[in-house]
Amino acid sequence: MLRTLEGGLGREREAEPDDKLEFLRALERKVLWLSTWMIHNANHLRPNRDGLKVGGHQASSASVATLMTALYFDVLRPQDRVAVKPHASPVFHAIQYLLGYQTRDKLERFRGFGGAQSYPSRTKDGETVDFSTGSVGLGVGMTLFASLAQDYLRLKQLVPTDDPPGRMIALAGDAELDEGNIFEALLEGWKHDVRNLWWVIDYNRQSLDAVVSDRLFGRIDALFEMMGWRVVTLKYGRLLEAAFARQDGHHLREWIDACPNSLYSALVYKGGEGWREHLHRDLNRYPGIRAIFDDHDDATLQRLMTNLAGHDMDSVLAAFHAVEDDRPTCFIAYTIKGFGLPFAGHKDNHAGLMNLDQMETFRRSMEVAEGAEWEPFAGLDQPAERLAKFLKGLPLAASGQRRHDAAPVAVPTTLSVPRGVRQSTQEAFGRLLGDIAASETALAERIVTTSPDVTVSTNLGLWVNRRGIFDRAERADTFREEHVVSAQRWAMSPQGQHIELGIAESNLCLLLAALGLSGPLFGTRLLPIGTLYDPFIKRGQDALNYACYQDARFILVATPSGITLAPEGGAHQSVGEPLTGIAQPGLTSFEPAYADELAVLLRWAFEEIQRDAGESVYFRLSTRPIEQPPRTIDPDLAEAVIAGAYWLSEPGPGAELAIAYCGAVAPEALAAHQAVAEDIPQAGLLAITSPDRLHRDWRAARARGEGGVAERLLARLRPGAALVTVGDFHPATLSWLGAVAGNAIVPLGVDRFGQSGDIPDLYRAYGIDTDAILDAAARACLTALPRTARRSG
């Protein structure tokens, strides 16, 4: 075994504080090198088959090399969780490589198929990524809601509380703060008194296109402070601070403080000569400044003038370690985009890549021998064994698994169907949850509901009355105490199981993402249910996609939906969401018509969101009360409801026509079917509960060369028979059914903005009423293939 011998004593030296700083500086160098090299390799050295630029962000990566080295190699504890700004992915991979959690092979295939991902991905890069990032702003918001999820679990003692809580840390680009979702989260976080949250802002004053406005960041710290955050600004490094302390040094500080972002960036790019020219012009009258000029050649002057605290390991460590309490803290770290690289500070450097010559020069300056580019410690002053030992000894390396395996929550075999001859799916949902709330089951204990100010109007009232609202502190229900009559009980406490949000659907989806990852993140599963109005899914859609992208598991209940919420009008009516239900990966969608279907599906959903290869589930529900079928769902029918469709009225042998409906238009479809049956007694009525499941199954079955659920169902009709599909949604949701078995299809649905009205008027105007279905049936029959049997007869 190799040992480092010190002073001939034969004693293995531990990492002293001074050594630690040297190690960290060496590793910072290596992280910068590896991230830059990884991108270079992908763009210049790997075969390129399609002529596309591979990309990667050398400048954005260089900007955070110091901050991330400090975090990962010194500051992070095993329970901390991090969202890394998307464009620092190469730095992240380099760090994981040095920690032994990433392979060289994957680095060599960075941005290639099966290689290290362009932006850190929980599902594709695996274990080491706590939060995926990519769409700027969302990772930052996610940390805030993860801290809320952690509080929820700890205050209920659902996770062990012997260890201190983890810090939820976002490493954000400064331009990420242009994204409104961050401020929506900030306000919500203030209301919930979030803790253990760090946002480290890489303030390189550049975005993708340009240098960012000077004026904006002047307001940012005040904004955070207003929300109760501590703001720590890391502006100048030790070299600059020492220069400021010299005679006339304060003039230099004032000069830099007043220097516009764009000029500072341009001078960073120009280097020593550029600084000298400007400083000479502005400050040469001060003898102390002239002395500083004399002490620095162009190279050291450049080093001095770019010595911002975000690149000064000492300053960064001091700032991070100084925070010992749980108050949310925003670090504004001044950095330089492309620090240490030839395009440092250049406004166009976001997508810039070093060319072959520049890389060669950089390799030499890094003292990395040719052929040793991937070696973890090549070119560093410290002996490799000591660096390796230092890395092995880090708490992060020693902690083992970063993701928890959380035990599943038992789900009862059935949920009892809410009684009522007429009811809406929304009402049934409220009553189903109300019944669960009244039970003493593990399921009831682990459900957590949340809603962006539509708790009552989406029918969560019964659940909330029984399970209470979550808050860090006990808060009485004032109306109740004052004996004011209300159907809602709004007492708040740490035991509450509903998290009430302000009206920001993006926050809803981020909170669902955080709660839906509570198992792997914190070790205990929660079963989150979020409710909102169907059209406002679009408001939260990027966050919803983000939640699904990282495989968070939750149930989204969207209600009311479609033009069926009639008098509310076009601004509240949804049209395209069922297409989202089909198209969104990681999300299975259902639109049941009846309460008994919903009971089957909700029970299934509680299992589905816990299955290893499962998905989140989206229910599109309605406020329209409709007559319920008098029946008991047997296991076969339950299976069909889950699979996505069943014959509500079986077609007769060789049927020429079927009507397929989905959701709240069931009464119109039933009436049309009855009317049609007078002429075509064999006509079938197909109940569709999930266009999404049917569509997926159809494609998967075709790929296997088999007939899927839809094909088997439609095989009951004669070949080429007429098929009318109808739903309160865009007709494309079901029009694909015509391709399954070659039926003559007329898809009905809504493809224009809605408007106020009642259901009869609106269904007529948008062509989904009984008459429209009958007209469509007649048209479909005309275009259907002629019936060979009849002709030959």
Ligand X SMILES: Cc1ncc(C[n+]2csc(CCOP(=O)(O)OP(=O)(O)O)c2C)c(N)n1
Min CB(206)–Mg ion separation in Å: 5
Residues 6+ apart with CB under 8 A from 551: 122, 123, 517, 586
**208 vs 438, beta carbon nearer ligand X:** 208
Min CB(214)–ligand X separation in Å: 14
Min CB(208)–Mg ion separation in Å: 8
Tell which one of 128, 147, 206, 584 touches Mg ion (CB under 5 A).
206
Q: Answer whether 276's CB lies under 8 Å from 300's CB.
A: no
Backbone angles phi, psi at 403, to 5 degrees: -110, 140
**Which of Mg ion, ligand X, none is residue 122 near (CB under 5 to 8 Å by kind)?**
none
Q: Does 184 sit near ligand X (CB under 6 A)?
A: no
- Alpha helices by DSSP H, listed for 416-550, are 425-438, 442-446, 461-467, 478-481, 505-515, 518-522, 541-549
Q: Does 756 sit near ligand X (CB under 6 A)?
A: no
**Which of Mg ion, ligand X, none is residue 350 near (CB under 5 to 8 Å by kind)?**
ligand X
Q: Which amino acid is at 704?
A: R
Min CB(543)–ligand X separation in Å: 11
Per-residue mark of binding to Mg ion, 131-170 (x: CB under 5 A):
----------------------------------------
**Which of Mg ion, ligand X, none is residue 120 near (CB under 5 to 8 Å by kind)?**
none
DSSP 3-state of 392? helix
Q: Does 202 sit near ligand X (CB under 6 A)?
A: yes
Q: Does 174 sit near ligand X (CB under 6 A)?
A: yes
Binding residues for ligand X, total number by CB under 6 A? 18
**184 vs 202, beta carbon nearer Mg ion:** 202
Min CB(251)–Mg ion separation in Å: 28
Min CB(268)–ligand X separation in Å: 14
- Which one, of 736, 602, 752, 766, lies nearest residue 660 by Cα? 736
Q: How many CA atoms lie within 13 A of 613 on its CB side?
A: 0
* Residue 448 to residue 527: CA distance in whole angstroms: 6
* Residue 152 to residue 135: CA distance in whole angstroms: 27
Cβ atoms < 10 Å from Cβ of 618:
28
- Which one, of 253, 380, 202, 238, lies nearest residue 312 by Cα? 238
Tell which one of 204, 451, 497, 589 touches Mg ion (CB under 5 A).
204
Q: Does 716 sit near ligand X (CB under 6 A)?
A: no
**Would strands 645-649 and 684-688 be described as parallel, antiparallel, or unpaired?**
antiparallel
**337 vs 603, beta carbon nearer ligand X:** 337
Q: Does 132 sit near ligand X (CB under 6 A)?
A: no
**Which of ligand X, Mg ion, none is residue 135 near (CB under 5 to 8 Å by kind)?**
ligand X
* Residues between 71 and 100 that touch ligand X (CB under 6 A): 85-87
Q: Answer whether 40's CB lies under 8 Å from 404's CB.
A: no
- Which one, of 88, 116, 140, 169, lies nearest residue 337 by Cα? 88
Q: Does 363 sit near ligand X (CB under 6 A)?
A: no
Residue 407 gets which letter from DSSP? Answer: P
* Residues between 170 and 199 that touch Mg ion (CB under 5 A): 173-175
Min CB(141)–ligand X separation in Å: 12
Residue span binding ligand X (CB under 6 A) among the ranges 108-116, 198-206, 227-235, 435-443: 198-206
Residues 6+ apart with CB under 8 A from 100: 391, 397
Tokens representing 320 are: 């991070």
End-to-end CA distance of the chain: 93
**31 vs 521, beta carbon nearer ligand X:** 31
Residue 73 gets which letter from DSSP? Answer: I
Tell which one of 166, 173, 272, 516 touches ligand X (CB under 6 A).
173
Tokens representing 518 are: 């509570």
**Which of ligand X, Mg ion, none is residue 208 near (CB under 5 to 8 Å by kind)?**
ligand X
**60 vs 564, beta carbon nearer ligand X:** 60
Min CB(539)–ligand X separation in Å: 15
Q: Does 597 sit near ligand X (CB under 6 A)?
A: no
The H-or-E segment that residue 203 falls in is strand 197-203
Q: Does 311 sit near ligand X (CB under 6 A)?
A: no
Q: Answer whether 321's CB lies under 8 Å from 234's CB.
A: no
Q: Answer whether 744's CB lies under 8 Å from 780's CB.
A: yes
Query: Which residues make up the interface to ligand X (CB under 6 A)?
Result: 60, 63, 85-87, 135-136, 173-176, 202, 204, 206-208, 337, 350
Query: Which residues make up the interface to Mg ion (CB under 5 A)?
Result: 173-175, 204, 206
